[in-house]
Structure 1
Amino acid sequence: MNVLLLAAGLLVAAFVGYNIGGATTGPAFGPAVGAGVVGNIIAAAFMSVCFLLGALTVGPAVVETLAQDLIRNPAVFTLRTSAAVLFVIGSALLLGNYAGVPASTSMTAVGAISALGLATGTLDWSVLRAIAVWWLVAPIAGFWVAGVVGRYFYPQLEEWLALEDRTRDRPLVSVRASGFVPRLRLGSSADRREMAGSLSVIAIGCVTAYASGTSNIANAIAPLYATGVIAFTPLALLGSAAVAIGAFTIARRTLETLGSDITKLPLTAAIVVAVISAGLVVFLSWLGIPASFVVIATTSIVGLGWGRATRTTTRPTATDGEGPDPVDGDPDSVTATPELFDPTTTARVLLMQNVVPVVATVGAFVLFRFGPLFEF
């Protein structure tokens, strides 16, 4: 065993995990941060712990898919090729993080590993087709479910939850650092129902972060695990630690993009987005599919913003000479609500989420098909 190649592989795996932390913290806790429930530091802490739990419990199933099933002959995963695959994945994800857009780690990783299989003639097309089908179905489902909720049910949910949309000088939930064990401190200005809703946003974000760990840990360690040199648990701990570092550092830009730039999310909207995206990701992870986590979350946010922007409301009828007059004498005439998401930012997010996986796939294929250091 080449110790230098092993060290390089571990370093690159940590590099991928670092970028995963930057890419996936935004979709998990962007709604909570954008709604003023928690700050970036608390979001990163919750992300780190829940990601680790997901990686150690359900994560092995998705690792097996990428390390054993997608490539018919796992022998092509040498230390050299594994390090190269991980380097391509990490570099592509870094491109998305630099642009402030949470690129899909699963699409990027599957693209790079599939390029290796294609270059070596060992790609299992049936497994790739099954993954691709779910990648198409899940984001569309997230968009339309969120859109329907935003268009037809959002006012009722807002009334039922009774969560006040307010601008806060500090997050509603913060950490009290006194003593050896940090404790959550709840804002004194919030009533009981608003606090319950805020804690629900955090809880759902934790579930989403857990689901991210079940799926995305494979993107950081599957190529190295396929070599058989290191067991799963040490690799999972390494990958999760790197994710935590990314969550505390470069995730700030994606938190801003997903929580503020695309749509101004009040607490009710944050709960809707988190429930939909977490549910779909957990379902895909249960099936063993490397879920396109950030795409599902992003399309859910866009769908909710679109649904709310196109929602129609009834104008009040003037009965005493005050208030707006009905249009054309029709007291039931309607008008669309203002647009609540930024189309420019949305287009940039969707574009980069497709560009990054393409860059990884094409780059990996060229490297393994024509690179002088790789002969199969």
Structure 2
Amino acid sequence: MTAPTTRVAFVGTGNIAGPYAQSLATHPELELVGVFDVMQDKAKEFAAAHSVDSYTDLDALSAARPDIVVNLTSAPYHYSTTKALLGHGLTVFSEKPLAMTATEAAELVDLAHTAGVRLSCAPSLWLGAASLETARRVRAGEIGDVRLVTAEVNQGRIETWHPNPDTFYQVGPVFDAGVYPLTYLTAVLGPIVEVTATSVSMLPERTTLSGETLQLSTPDGWVVVARFGNGAVLRLTCTFFVDSATIPRAVEFHGVDGSLRLDDWLRADAGIHRAEYARKFTELVPGESTADIDWCLGLADLAASIQEDRRHLVTAEHAAHVVEVLEAVKASAEAGTRIAVTSTFVSPLEASQPSNTPAFADN
């Protein structure tokens, strides 16, 4: 029997809404039914282009009772928007990060539990084939105990392609893009317990596509050292200065018996390389880089988990832990000291958990 279609609504019709809609269209089990944006003209234009309803406000969206609402607002508005949606008793999948502070993120987790609905959060690209295959090999002990991990996040100069880069530079490269490998690596290796970070403004004045001058309010270059609870250490570089065409988006796991490299943490079809100790990397899985990025991997899993009455893989508890890590990164750079991270979560790659807790109940 074919599973029922999951009805999805978007809140926010900005730059990322188009890629989400394109990805959603490749999932026949998902149906986009409507959108809301505070900029009503923008929402109506998006709705018309995708032949869906345009809601006038969150009350109207709630009355339509979509199965899942995707929060695609800008990062500073994730917390308030998700809080309002949970207050309407709706299941939510939020773009990253879940919130801008650990306190806000923990509050959202508690609200979902209280409301008896599910809460999930991007990034979910680590559910792609290449990331999961690399994780499988690491967790199977193929390179022995992992002691060192390195990750590169160089997203280039946002103003050269995005018409409204302000919010990117407001949150900075760690919150905007460093969250991808941080989420992936904590899924693979477990919670982070300590962070040390430094930041610098590399190019503090930018010129937008419209010719306006933009002064950065957040440093555009960061180096982070994080220690996992299992003892492994991460060195993460994040910039809005260097482009990924120059320094690829790679993650490397270095173990006692060798190393594994995921060539691109963004792509499901990335290559995977392996090296024995003191040897060069050789190709294990060739990279393709031809398929479109599927932004709806986590959304599709959330929908399937509801149908199958199981725990979804991209959990709010995991996302909240990553927010605390992000907050610790900022605090460490400002204070010039190590910052402890105290939150924890059950890794989605561990044995499956029962789904009979309130946070994972159906709508």
Larger radius of gyration, structure 1 or 2?
1
Higher helix share: 1
Alignment TM-score > 0.5, same fold = no
TM norm structure 1: 0.28
Q: Give TM-score scaled by structure 2 length.
A: 0.29
Larger fraction in strand = 2
